[in-house]
Structure 1
Amino acid sequence: MNVEGSTAFVSGGASGLGEATVRLLVERGARVAIADVDDDRGRALCSELGDGAVFFHADVTDDGEVQSAVGVAVEQLGELRLVVGCAGIGLAARVLGREGPADL
């Protein structure tokens, strides 16, 4: 897929699979908005990648933070063409109990 000149928004982009995705997108010529709760890693990654990436603090469990980050990303980088969800969130709940599968 040709992403050169496109703008991407990657949640969870400061580490792990999200970071790898950010690096690949920037390498292929995309501008990337990195959204994550890890400010230090996000800013360090942006410093390393240069003008190809911008960091925004955003907790994906907070709709307001995500909407704000997307809005500022669009203002700074232009229309989003790609959105990648890599934020690692989940519910701490029992999956299977004595009564059968839990209602997740």
Structure 2
Amino acid sequence: MKLDSTISAVITGGASGLGAATARRLAGHGVKVALFDLNAELGEALAQELGGVFCPVNITSSAEVDAAFAKARAANG
């Protein structure tokens, strides 16, 4: 699989644990990452570290998911 800056990824639960590890691994290959999570403090810090974007979202809310995808698209294409 080709992983580089032509790829954009959305990682749910991306602020900590397995999601954060996945985000770090993908970003390490140049992938543009959008972190979807409720934890703004951890999410913002990790997004800044990785050069990604943090999207605060409760995935049980369609409106929040739509807004998060709009933010991710604006930042990463």
Normalising by structure 1, what TM-score? 0.69
Q: Partners of 2:33 and 2:49 in 1: how far apart?
A: 13
Q: Which residue of 2 aligns with 1:73?
A: 72
Counterpart check, 1:27 vs 2:37: no
Q: Which residue of 1 aligns with 2:2?
A: 2
- Taking only the aligned residue pairs, the percentage that are identical comes to 39
Q: What displacement does 1:29 show?
A: 0.8
Q: Which residue of 1 aligns with 2:49?
A: 48
Query: Which has the higher Rg, Structure 1 or Structure 2?
Result: 1
User: Which blocks of at least 5 consecutive residues in structure 1 are unaligned?
Assistant: 79-104
Give, as a single letter, the amino acid of the residue that structure 1 aligns with 2:68.
A
Greater relative CO (CA pairs within 8 A, separation 6+): 1
User: Which blocks of at least 5 consecutive residues in structure 2 are unaligned?
Assistant: none
Match of 1:25, SS state, is: helix
Match of 1:2, SS state, is: coil
Deviation digits for residues 33-87 of structure 1 (CA, Å, limit 9, x no counterpart): 11100000001112222x2x11010111111101110012112210xxxxxxxxx
Give, as a single letter, the amino acid of the residue that structure 1 aligns with 2:66.
Q
Normalising by structure 2, what TM-score? 0.91
Count of aligned pairs between the two proteins = 76
Q: Partners of 2:57 and 2:39 in 1: how far apart?
A: 9
CA-based RMSD of the aligned residues comes to 1.0
